[in-house]
Amino acid sequence: MEKLKVASLFCGCGGTDVGMMGGFDFLGKHYAKNDVEIVYANDFEKSACNIFEANFGLKPDNRDIREVKTEELPKFDILTGGFPCQSFSIVAQNPKRLGIKDEKGMLFFEMCRILRERKPKCFIAENVKGLLTANKREAFPLIIKEFEDSGYDVKYQVVHAVEFGVPQKRERVIIVGFRKDLNVEFDFPEAVVDSPEKYVPLSKVIDSDVDEKYFFSQKAVDGMMRNRESMNKGRAQNVDEPCNTVGAHLAKVSLNSTDPVLKVDNKYRRFTPREVARIQSFPETFKLTESEHAQYKALGNAIPPVMFWYIMRSVKDSLNSEKKYESITV
């Protein structure tokens, strides 16, 4: 069978792409290859592009997607894109959630532009759960309509990463669309972990011996303790449960933030970049290049590969069951 060709927008360090390609191991389980080839990748963040290139051997296009003409893209069957989520994030505080009124929130229109002009077989889009309620719940229906008006039958679902063997409480809206003329029936994958008692705990992915540089000073701990009750800060994780959502600002995490931290022998510490990679379900073979600050940002912005592997399996099964389609990407 010929490999499905993928154009990956807003690719970041490649969480989507690891999941789509398959052929990796995580926590003792093998995730089979998906017969997928990444033929184009794009991201505006240079350091994330460098991490991507180190792992895939493909140099992402580092331009603003609005500068990319659709005819510049090679032939592809699937368009993916985790369009920037800061505008929709529930935890976004500065600025407040602006949704489609914000410049970054408008970038999903670039996906629609490419869909209209290139007409791939399908697309997969991803964003934070806050997308559903942005702009007083007005943004999401507009986004779905734009995808539908681009020529696609569209389905969406909030997917819980923890239900697919990821040691993290991370919820994401996944939007999948198939070109209308293909008449493809699609169902999202069912959860493979059916009860909280079976969720993968944080203890499976953290190290017992880490450098002292990851520990907070006693002064920082004392300050956090003085404000803990009033500020709801210092969120030390229960290692017997999945981790809370890791974000892009872990490099600057403090005990006066809402980011998850660890408490080890009455000492608080941040996660190492490799631990964040595991929390996100990246395989041990994934190369972490660039500065630690860049690694934290790229990993925190990523899509959990294991979760996306299941999404891709369902997409591939749907395409394989449809015998009538022919690629008309031009």
Whether the upstream peptide bond of residue 283 has omega within 30° of 0, thus cis, is no
Phi, psi of 261 (to 5 degrees): -135, 170
Give the Cβ contact number of residue 27 at 10 Å: 15
* 29/283 Cα distance (integer angstroms): 10
* 83/106 Cα distance (integer angstroms): 9
* 309/21 Cα distance (integer angstroms): 8
The pair of structure tokens assigned to 165 is 């063997």
85 is catalytic: yes
CA atoms lying within 13 Å on the CB side of residue 244: 13
- In this structure, the chain runs to a length of 330
What do you get for the CA distance between the two ends of the chain, in Å? 21
Q: Which of 49, 85, 112, 122 is catalytic?
A: 85
The CA-atom distances, in angstroms, between 157 and each of 100, 124, 240 are 20, 12, 28
For 67-143, list the strands marked E by DSSP.
Answer: 78-81, 122-128
The CA-atom distances, in angstroms, between 213 and each of 209, 290, 293 are 12, 18, 14
Active-site residues, by number, are 85
